[in-house]
Amino acid sequence: MKIFNSINEFCNSQLDIESFVPTMGNLHEGHLSLINTAKKNSKNICVSIYVNKNQFTNKKDFDSYPITLDEDIYKLEKAGVNYLLNPCKDDIENNSSPFDAKFEPKYLTNDLCGKYRKGHFLAVMDIVHRLFQIVNPKNIILGEKDYQQIFVIKELIEIYNYNIKIITSPTIREKGSGLALSSRNSLLTAEQKKMASEIYKALQLSAILYADNVPLDQIKDKIYEIFEQLPIEIEYFTFRDLKTLQQANDNDLIALIAGYLGNVRLIDNIIVKSKTNL
Ligand code: PAF
């Protein structure tokens, strides 16, 4: 794997990247499955590691974000990645133009997670826009765990008319507990990890209840009731249209959840379908 710390060197190499996997490092099986998805679809794969401070809406969250560059490089080498782009802030900013905030799709960026993390998705749009200018890939590989992020990047691609295809990859879960893999899980104690598995259990229950034709409002009440008894503070639990992420009461839906366990913010989702579609 060739490692680029300099954007000039990266661009001068004219790499013709097929699939791009942007990350903030602290790589886990979830990232490796994105890389596997990339490998199934393409040959020339570039992973980026850049911890984008602007997208952290909580200073503590940024300060505690785990940095594990040596381990990450080892994992990427083993996974057969071709290029790692590991740039610094100034280098990125000097070699790309920012996302123009007048295009911000506020209906999306201020919704769900964006309602609780002001400015988060605008900062994601900015960094991905900058990375697109530098990497110029044919595909971007994104995880379904960050379901709203997929829609945000879809908007970015439409706004700037990028010829980039989004390839999504399923959420990877811990065996047994079902906890969705996330870099933030490493901040949880063993006890908290056990507790965090209640999030996926609740999502599974919501899918079962929906398949049993229980009305959405009743399912929501049930899920909020469950978390009242647990030390997980729910920000939102809701159903949305699977294909548009907009409010919906029928069709194929996705249930999305976000909450805090201690200082750690966790998100997850599950696709739910009506009985007739199962
Ligand atoms: O999903 C992430 O890890 C980040 O939001 C991304 C896409 C790398 C942008 O910083």
Q: Which is more confident, 13 or 65?
A: 13
Name the percent of the chain lying above pLDDT 90: 92
Residue 178 resides in a domain = no
160 and 190 part of one domain: no
46-53 mean pLDDT: 98
pLDDT value of residue 278 = 46
Closest ligand 1 atom to the C-alpha of 131? 9
Number of domains composing the chain:
2
At 250, the pLDDT band (50, 70, 90 cuts) reads confident
Residues spanned by the domain of 16: 2-169
Over the stretch 68-106, which tens digit does the pLDDT of each residue have? 999 999 999 999 999 999 999 999 999 999 999 999 999
> Ligand 1: residues whose CB is within 6 Å?
22-24, 52, 55, 124, 127-128, 146, 149
Over the stretch 198-236, which tens digit does the pLDDT of each residue have? 999 999 999 999 999 999 999 999 999 999 999 999 999
Centroid of ligand 1 to alpha carbon of 273 (angstroms): 28
Residue 277 resides in a domain = no
pLDDT value of residue 58 = 87
142 and 203 part of one domain: no
DSSP 8-state symbol, 101: G
Centroid of ligand 1 to alpha carbon of 124 (angstroms): 7
84 and 133 part of one domain: yes
192 and 163 part of one domain: no
pLDDT value of residue 274 = 58
Q: Specify the 3-state DSSP secondary structure of 41.
A: helix
pLDDT value of residue 158 = 98
183-207 mean pLDDT: 96
Over the stretch 141-173, which tens digit does the pLDDT of each residue have? 999 999 999 999 999 999 999 999 999 999 999
Residue after which a domain boundary falls, among 130, 146, 169: 169
Closest ligand 1 atom to the C-alpha of 22? 8
Closest ligand 1 atom to the C-alpha of 51? 10
Cβ pair 203, 254 in contact under 8 A = no
**At 213, which CATH number?**
3.30.1300.10
Under 8 Å CB-to-CB from 51, ≥6 apart: which residues?
24, 25, 62, 65, 67
pLDDT value of residue 216 = 94
Name the token pair of 215: 């009305």
Name the percent of the chain lying above pLDDT 70: 98
Integer Cα distance of 195 and 185 in angstroms: 12
Residue after which a domain boundary falls, among 169, 197, 212: 169
Residue after which a domain boundary falls, among 123, 140, 169: 169
At 251, the pLDDT band (50, 70, 90 cuts) reads confident
Residue 175 resides in a domain = no
pLDDT value of residue 273 = 79
Among 26-40, 181-195, 240-254, name the one with the lowest average pLDDT: 240-254
At 176, the pLDDT band (50, 70, 90 cuts) reads confident
Residue 53 resides in a domain = yes
**At 7, which CATH number?**
3.40.50.620
23-52 mean pLDDT: 97
**Average pLDDT score over the chain:** 96
7 and 114 part of one domain: yes
27 and 126 part of one domain: yes
Residue 243 resides in a domain = yes
pLDDT value of residue 240 = 96
187 and 153 part of one domain: no
Residue 276 resides in a domain = no
96 and 148 part of one domain: yes
Residue 271 has pLDDT above 60, yes or no: yes
pLDDT value of residue 64 = 87
At 276, the pLDDT band (50, 70, 90 cuts) reads low
Scored b (16 or more CB within 10 A) or e, 214-228 reads eebeebbeebeebbe
Atom 5 in ligand 1: residue holding the nearest Cα: 124
259-273 mean pLDDT: 94
Q: Indicate which residues carry an active-site annotation.
A: 31
Integer Cα distance of 167 and 203 in angstroms: 24
Q: What share of the chain is helix, strand, coil (3-state, %, to 5)?
A: 45, 20, 35
138 and 223 part of one domain: no
